[in-house]
Chains A and B, each alone.
Chain A
Amino acid sequence: EIVMTQSPATLSVSPGERVTLSCRASQSVSSNLAWYQQKPGQAPRLLVYGASTRATGIPARFSGSGSGTVFTLTISSLQSEDSAVYYCQQYTNWRGTFGQGTKVEIK
């Protein structure tokens, strides 16, 4: 099973600042990497897939990069509504595994 590891576990950032979240795979997943945002009491929402393709309706301040085993989600200018837990997921096959999540808090 491919293990996904996210860092940091929690991030506290001021509005307008740049945020960088990291995700590492235990083996290469090529570009089969997605990022999801989950707010309290809500279902996850797809932000990025294919490591760098924004999903429909996702603001341009969200961007993904990386390939192989190291990936990054960047929020260029944090907005208050971006407070959430962010998960990465590899989907090289039918058994997609998730990272443990990074919680982004607003200062």
Chain B
Amino acid sequence: EVQLVESGGDLVQPGGSLRLSCAASGFTFSSHSMNWVRQAPGKGLEWVSYISTSGSTIYYADSVKGRFTISRDNAENSLYLQVSSLRAEDTAVYYCARNLHGDYVVDYWGQGTLVTVSS
């Protein structure tokens, strides 16, 4: 069974930092590209970042470029998102999301971890 379990969300002050983690199991992690997708309270879904299977190709949404860093450890079956210079508008549930093998469509989502940016 595919499982994606996020952790690391917390209440943080504006300008602060966090490291979000996603532990993957039930599939060959190194064979799937991965994403972080977020959802502000009561709002829709917003794609945040993409990382290829090897980690050699990375993309970010314009809204987070220069502040967020995605990475992965295929030996540990883990995905990460370092979030820095946080703003109130970054408040959201952050989902770890797996792409279908060889494609860009998300076929599995974690349950999410909540990041709240507030003073």
Interface on A for B, CB 8 Å cutoff?
Answer: 32, 34, 36, 42-46, 49-50, 55, 87, 89, 91-101
The reply to whether B112 and A95 contact each other, CB–CB distance below 8 Å, is no
B111 / chain A contacts, CB cutoff of 8 Å: 42-43
**Smallest beta-carbon distance B85→chain A, Å:** 21
Pick 26 A–B contacts, CB within 8 A, sort by A.
Answer: A32-B104, A34-B106, A36-B45, A36-B106, A42-B111, A43-B95, A43-B110, A43-B112, A44-B45, A45-B109, A46-B105, A46-B106, A46-B108, A49-B100, A87-B44, A89-B105, A91-B104, A91-B106, A94-B33, A95-B59, A96-B47, A96-B104, A96-B106, A100-B44, A101-B44, A101-B45
Interface size on B, residues (CB 8 A): 21
Q: Which of B45, B46, B106 has the largest number of chain A CB atoms within 10 A?
A: B45
The reply to whether B107 and A98 contact each other, CB–CB distance below 8 Å, is no
B33 / chain A contacts, CB cutoff of 8 Å: 94
The reply to whether B109 and A49 contact each other, CB–CB distance below 8 Å, is no
CA distance A34 to B110 in the complex (A): 18
**Is B29 an interface residue when CB atoms closer than 8 A count as contact?**
no
The reply to whether A98 and B44 contact each other, CB–CB distance below 8 Å, is yes
**Smallest beta-carbon distance B92→chain A, Å:** 13
From known contacts A49-B100, A95-B50, A95-B61, infer whether A55 and B107 are also in contact, taking CB-CB under 8 Å.
yes
A97 / chain B contacts, CB cutoff of 8 Å: 47
B95 / chain A contacts, CB cutoff of 8 Å: 43-44
**Smallest beta-carbon distance A64→chain B, Å:** 12
A89 / chain B contacts, CB cutoff of 8 Å: 45, 105-106
**Smallest beta-carbon distance B34→chain A, Å:** 11
The reply to whether A49 and B107 contact each other, CB–CB distance below 8 Å, is yes
From known contacts A32-B104, A44-B45, A101-B44, infer whether A94 and B109 are also in contact, taking CB-CB under 8 Å.
no
